[in-house]
Chains A and B, each alone.
Chain A
Amino acid sequence: MIHPIRISFSALLAGCLAAAAIAVEPEASVAPPQPAEALSIAAYPPSIQLNSARDFQSFVAVLTRDDGVTLDVTEQIEWKLAAEGLAKLEGNQLFPQADGETELVGAYNGSEVRIPVKVSNATVRPAISFKKDVMPVLTRSGCNTGSCHGAARGKDGFRLSLFGFDPDGDHFRVTREIGARRINLAVPEESLFLKKAIGSVPHTGGKLFDPDSDYYATLLEWLEDGAPIDPADNQPPAVASVDFFPPQAVLEGEGVKQRFVAVANYADGTTRDVSRLAAFTTNNPTSTEVDAYGGVQSGPRGEAFIMARFDTHTVGSQVLVLPEGLEYSAPEITGNYIDQLVGKKLQQLRILPSGLCSDEEYLRRVTLDITGLLPTREEYDNFMQDTAEDKRAALVDRLLGRKEFSEIWAMKFAQLLMIKSSNQVSYKSAFLYANWLTDKFARNVPMDQMVRELLTAEGGTFSSPATNFYEVERDTLKTSENVAQVFMGIRTQCAQCHNHPFDRWTMDDYYGFASFFCQIGRKTAEDYREQIVYDRKSGDVKHPVGGRAMEPTFLGDGVAETRNKDRRAVVAEWLTSPENPYFSKSIANRVWAHFMGIGIVDPVDDIRVSNPASNPELFAKLGDKLVEYNFDFRQLVRDICASEAYQRSVVTNESNQADSRNYAHALPRRISAESMLDVVCQVTNTKEKFRGLPLGARAVQIADGRTSTYFLNTFGRSPRDTVCDCEATTDPSLSQALHLLNGNSISGKISQGKVVDSMLKEDKLSAEQIIDELYVRSLTRLPTDEEKKQLLVSVSEAPDEQQGLEDVFWAVLNSREFVFNH
């Protein structure tokens, strides 16, 4: 039984380490196979460049056991340089001596790893640069965080730009703002700037580093040089990317350590060891502890993402912590491509999935998920009696053909697009906008096409309802934020005022992207309720630092060519192209989250480096599939509903009960507010009346977000105030329970709908049959013998049979089983 794990693990590692393995050493692949254990050692970074006399580089070696567990063997390996005299080895750090190329060779237990080393400018000691050297020390020491001098008004009279978004301004404030107070160029050691940092004078922020630290040395040398700013014609190279090694670690047992190395790659091709300058964090402090220099120590079982942030870049590696001596035999992975990827992750985590759910559970679950309604008695009977092999797939197909499916998704997007009437948007506009959306889903217009139509909409808000997208939110910056959040799952809001601290987005990215939406013209049409949206063909977004007009720039993808084009059309084209790295994944993830209860990235609209996907391969795969299906997400729904991951039971086992992110079991979910009301109406055979809709219209059909009822508010309907997916909540609450118990929704509807009454009087059913009917109607299952026995007793004790049965109905509708999709 051990065998399958080994296969899958080596496959995984081959994937993860492919880059490293190729770069490190050709020899590793030809190393003689170990007789007892198949060991593989990898060393990082894959190559070392030392670019100046100041430069140094630390390295780390990782041994991967055949069961996938990794060990930090940097200390155990014997390191030496292939050619002497070029560099000096100190611990796990390498310092330059003379120009040339060689290799760093590590020997361990008979195997060998090699890292190419290139030394250049070994005797050149470049001057300290404010931007390249001083700023990272300030950021690293936390000087410019929001709680310190990075606050909007600074701290204790001294302000720095938050996370260093404005280095020139910071230079001014350090050196010029208050005459000679902060720095003393005559006696640099006496500069307040330094004395505060080492705590030799009172400092609210306390002592940040020692006088003998490299940080101190950097600042002092800069001051000794005269505290220069980087000349405009000789700016230091920008950080192009940051690498973080090793890419993955699987630690066994508590208290195990693994060192990480961060390397910055500059635009001029040079590199730098930033392990002492980056900020390290973990997203799971219980399982992993990370120190200030990239050292990780394991805690209890769990999965973590260790992140390093340097300059505007945040990068991370996955760390799995497994209990020591865990006994685990991996089950065979079956099912479709989703199950392959889910299964792989579960094996990695040594988690056993739950079994598949029953037909009854599946029928209720999938009907609720796809249509927002419960299966009828007839549908129940048909499905239960169906003996076909593929009856579940056939059911999904039938459900996808129903208009309720498009209505659910139209409602979901109506929430994200904040469709509601307001002072700007007339009821008619909101109504037409919602109808436009429903029509798009009903006609199965591919998502990319729909989004393109929406973003490039032009004309009157009545004659071309998609233009309401630009009426619901008229602010340029908010519009661009909304586009990023709704269609790419990216929250750029932070970058409006400073570079995003937990993601890659800078203010340049933010304003560059916003400038796609700054040429929207609006005017009132003949009908005062209608607005005309058009391309103004002029207008710019100004960067708040310096006030330069920003060129339209794709998020993370360079400047766009928009001359003589509608800027919105350019961004819509980019956004919806199959190559776009965010759009398809984000949409697929939203679909996935709807069916699985939790996104692979969760929240679904907060995709960022520091909130990694629980299963990156699956995340990418679903996006690819959506592209492959030409953005027809019905097909994706088929895949999801056919997966074992979706079909799992909610019943957990010992290994998966603590897990909620890896789809080892189904998650019970409270039914959303609108569907809840629709379902209550459905089972009680009653009708609701909403403004602007005929009697009996369903809550998911509500066009205007302003239309609501007490029931919907209580059950967490989206107020449609922001584009956040979190606006619609399905958290159970006491007021919901009390409303169902005491409010008039349930009891009123039971008597109003006369369900029991007609079963008794028209259909002449017995109490036992009626209980069966009520169960199937509400819970999509028959009562157990025990339940039935007890219920019949309570019916017989009631003053009359009808009341007894209505009480049974009431009790069923108040059960947790009814309120949840499970």
Chain B
Amino acid sequence: MNRIAHSLLLTCLLAAISLAAQPSISRLEPLGVKRGEATKVTLHGARLSDAREVLTDLPGLTITEVKPLDNSKVEMTVTAAPDLVPGLYPLQLVTDSGISNLRLLGVGAMPVVAEVEPNSEFESPQKIELNTTVEGVVTAEDQDFFSVDLKKGQSLVVEIEGIRLASNQGNRFLDPFVAILDAGRFEKATRDDIPLLQQDGLCAYTAEQDGTYAVLVRDASFGGSNDARYRVHIGTFPRPIAVIPAGGRPGEILTAELIAMDGSKQSAQIQLPSEPADRFPAVSEDESGISPSPNWLRVNDLVVTMEQEPNEELQKAPPGVVPGALCGVIGEPGDVDYFAFEAKKGRKYLLQMYARGTLRSPLDSVVNVYGPDSKRVTGNDDSGNSPDSYCEFSAASDGTYRIRINDQLGNGGPAFGYRLEVTEAEPEVELDLAELDRYQAVSLPIPRGGQMAVMVNAKRKQFGGDLNIEALDLPAGITATTYPMRGDRPTVPLLLSAAEDAGKTASLVDIVATPAAEKLSHVRGGLRQNHKLVLGQNRRDVWNWETKRVAVSVAEPVPFRLSVVNPQVPIVRNGSMSLLVKVERNEGFEGEISLKSLYNPPGVTVNNSRKLKKDQTEVAVPMTANGGSSLGTWPMFLIATTNGGNGSVRITTEPIPVEVQEGFFKFEFPKSAAEQGTENVIVIGLEIAREFTGEAEVELVGLPPGVSSAEPIQKITNETEKVAFPITVAADARPGTHKTINVRARITSDKGVITQTQGTGELRVDKPLPPKKEEAEKKEPEKKPEAKPEPPKERPLSRLEQLRKAREEG
């Protein structure tokens, strides 16, 4: 256990170290603001002294007066629009040298007060007004009590934002528990986790009599720390836990039912946005208040079919429109919903459930599809890491297919809403960026006059082929160099360069991909970046936030210039090569520059531990290509990192065109044998796969200890078929079979050296046979005299041949 704990600790430390490169924000103070009011917010973190602006991903926040207080604090003024939907708003801080991690700012409609200790005893709660947001902290095993006065019949709702505010404490996190207690300390309502809010809690209680009630906040298992901060919303606001149906078509006014925590329903009209949205926030507002966080809806062009009870029987399944969204509720325990639709033979249908995903419904869906013959075609319980189901099938015949939806545990209730999107397979593409630092979403500060590359990964669905990548909305002064992504590759570099005279600009950049094929020109895919805000043990994902753009800024220049001598010769399969990197340092800069490759062509490995020390001006970075490496010319990049004074800074080199070619030679290794204290010849067969120009030589390497060759390097021509290396086996050479023999072929021309290596041959070193004995006379003495004289002759015999010969002659 100890060992495990240690390794975990180590992981955390490593993570911390890798984070140390960029400016980072660990928390906001306060954690949230009231909309419509200008609030001073302090960002706490590290390497913040050169902060200059804040990027926000969602509209509605106005941030002004960003000013560093010291290297670990930045103050800013935040004004949220008075009609901004309450909830969480991501922001990233841009400094002169980098861009921080993403943090969430809470925006609410109620006044914010801070927790005041002592409030850890039921008897001594902190008195607050109804409809207040309290910001507090759960220290180790701490309990916080807040008291409010309620009139009989008044409903008290408590919603906490704990984990959602990303109080990351290494591999632990605040997992809040909330409760409403009456004056007699009886728990009237409690909640640990609720699917709607993940690990955050939500509970409600309608007062049975006038009185003072207490709200309790603690960690679910009495954890807590000085970083376990939360915002708890205590008030009479509406807080639906489900909206049914949870989505509609762009621009329409959705008539939906809002489900309250007690299961009661209320009808509502929701104006949907004119553009499709994967997650559209809908908040509920009435005279008693506004819900502190939204319910999420899906807005797209699919036609909605609402379930119509009764629909519990396969044969009586009511029809639904497909392609379309099938919406409904698993209304009670054991409930099952069926839908029927007409499928066309040969078409491929995709069924994606949205229940826990987006809607945050308690439903743990199971989806099954039955064909026209009522036989099950396909089905799914969970997919990916989500309890939501996903399945696809190609219709084997025209006819009525039926879909069955139920809860895996047979649970059900008014809030168990779902939206099953059934679509026909269409080409799609989705992009993300390969992490440069582990567990950290990419952001790209580009040093002025330098460039930085990042790998763009693409997921193509229902099509293949080349993709064109494009970067949109780049900050002024930054240009992008893109490369087409080959059809057989899921990834390609994107290079951003900042002009020497670029200003202090920054923006969130869209990256899009379009298939190169003409007929797919309507397909267009964008970026999804997953910001891992809370990680658990073993760095497992607990809470994350998705954005569709990447932060790019112009940063201060790095104190050196890097150039790479572009190789003039290819690297061949089974070959190796070195990249020569040269550095020009600015006056006075003596820092160490470490080099690693951003991206290797498939099958190519680069030594990532090369460094340029202060007195070095160049270094060779070796790389090798294996026998299966992909042929072609690839842009390669090396990342150079150095300490920029306040955290590390990095750039990539200009693209290095590396060509991978087929090898020139095929060597054939015989199995050789030699006795201690003798001389022998190792003959290696050679096939010239393709003709070379220039001089070529072959070197024998990897001889076992005690074995040497007088001429380990032999010249070859395009006609050579065999290369023979004389060897001398010392009397004390280690006996046994040595499988270490390699040949290294070099083709030298004025452009450079092409190296190809091949292994492995086998050399067996034998001990001389012992002096003959009486009994062993019959066979062995004959063998010996024959075996001995042979080796020095032209063609050495393999061991098998030796034995054969021995038998013939004997």
On A, residues with C-beta under 8 Å from B are: 427-428, 431-432, 458-459, 462-463, 523-529, 532, 534, 692-694
Contacts and interface: CB of A to CB of B under 8 A. Distances in A.
Interface stretch (B219-227, B367-375, B469-477, B631-639): B219-227
Contact of B222 (A463, A523, A525, A692): A692
Given A431-B222, A526-B198, A692-B141, A458 B193 contact: no
Nearest to B198: A526
A526 B544 CA distance: 12
Contacts of A692: 141, 221-223
B762 to A, nearest CB: 41
A635 to B, nearest CB: 27
A525 B192 CA distance: 15
Given A523-B382, A526-B386, A527-B193, A459 B221 contact: no
B391 interface: no
Task: Give the 4 A-B CB pairs with smallest separation, nearest first.
Answer: A431-B221, A428-B221, A528-B540, A692-B222
Interface residues of B, number: 26
B222 A693 contact: yes
Contacts of B192: 432, 462-463
Nearest to A521: B408
Nearest to B381: A523
A532 B364 contact: yes
B221 A534 contact: no
Interface string B710-724: 000000000000000
Nearest to B120: A694
B222 A528 contact: no
Contacts of A534: 408-409
Main DSSP-derived SS at the B contact region? loop
A311 to B, nearest CB: 44
Contacts of B411: 459
Contacts, number: 53
Interface string B620-663: 00000000000000000000000000000000000000000000
A526 B356 contact: yes
B409 A459 contact: yes
A528 B198 CA distance: 12
Contacts of B222: 431, 692-694
A240 B408 CA distance: 44
B542 interface: yes
B193 A462 contact: yes
A428 B386 contact: no
Contact of A527 (B221, B382, B386, B542): B542
Nearest to A530: B193
Interface in B292-328: none
Of A458, A524, A526, A532, most B-chain CB atoms within 10 Å: A526
A693 B386 CA distance: 33
Interface in B243-301: none
A524 B386 CA distance: 9
Given A458-B409, A459-B409, A527 B141 contact: no
A428 B542 contact: no
B115 interface: no
A428 B536 contact: no
B387 interface: yes
B175 interface: yes
B360 to A, nearest CB: 10
Contacts of B386: 526
Given A427-B221, A527-B542, 5 more contacts: A431-B221, A526-B387, A527-B199, A528-B537, A532-B408
B530 to A, nearest CB: 15
B409 A527 contact: no
Contacts of A524: 385
Contacts of A694: 141, 222
Nearest to B199: A527
A428 B175 contact: yes
A432 to B, nearest CB: 7
9 contacts: A431-B221, A462-B192, A462-B220, A523-B381, A528-B541, A528-B542, A532-B409, A693-B222, A694-B141
A686 B541 CA distance: 42
B223 A463 contact: no
Interface in B133-173: 141
A463 B191 CA distance: 10
Given A459-B409, A462-B192, A527-B198, A432 B221 contact: yes
Interface string B376-417: 000001100111000000000000000000001101000000
A60 to B, nearest CB: 60
Contacts of A462: 192-193, 220
A456 to B, nearest CB: 12
Contact of A428 (B220, B385, B408, B409): B220
Contacts of B195: 526
A433 B671 CA distance: 66
B189 to A, nearest CB: 16
Interface string B471-489: 0000000000000000000
Interface string B411-439: 10000000000000000000000000000
Interface in B219-242: 220-223
Nearest to B142: A694
Contacts of A527: 193, 198-199, 542
Interface in B61-75: none
B141 A693 contact: yes
A433 B125 CA distance: 29
Contacts of A431: 220-222
A389 to B, nearest CB: 36
A512 B221 CA distance: 39
Interface in B336-376: 356, 364
Interface in B525-567: 536-537, 540-542
A581 B550 CA distance: 69
A692 B542 CA distance: 22
A463 B382 contact: no
Nearest to B386: A526
A524 B538 CA distance: 15
Contacts of A459: 409, 411
A421 B408 CA distance: 27
A463 B193 CA distance: 8
Contacts of A526: 195, 198, 356, 385-387
B418 to A, nearest CB: 16
Contact of B536 (A432, A463, A529, A693): A529
A527 B141 CA distance: 21
A72 B385 CA distance: 75
A528 B539 CA distance: 11
Nearest to A528: B540
Nearest to A524: B385
A512 to B, nearest CB: 27
Contacts of A525: 387
A692 B195 CA distance: 25
Which among B175, B192, B198, B408 has the highest number of chain A CB atoms within 10 Å? B408
A428 B382 CA distance: 24
A533 B385 CA distance: 16
A590 B381 CA distance: 43
A693 B364 CA distance: 33
Nearest to A464: B409
A632 B381 CA distance: 41
Nearest to A706: B1
Nearest to A692: B222
A427 B536 CA distance: 13
Contacts of B198: 526-527
A462 B195 CA distance: 12
Contacts of B141: 692-694
B194 to A, nearest CB: 10
A432 B193 CA distance: 12
Nearest to B163: A527
A428 B221 CA distance: 5
A706 to B, nearest CB: 9
A418 B11 CA distance: 30
A803 B193 CA distance: 54
Contacts of A432: 192, 220-221
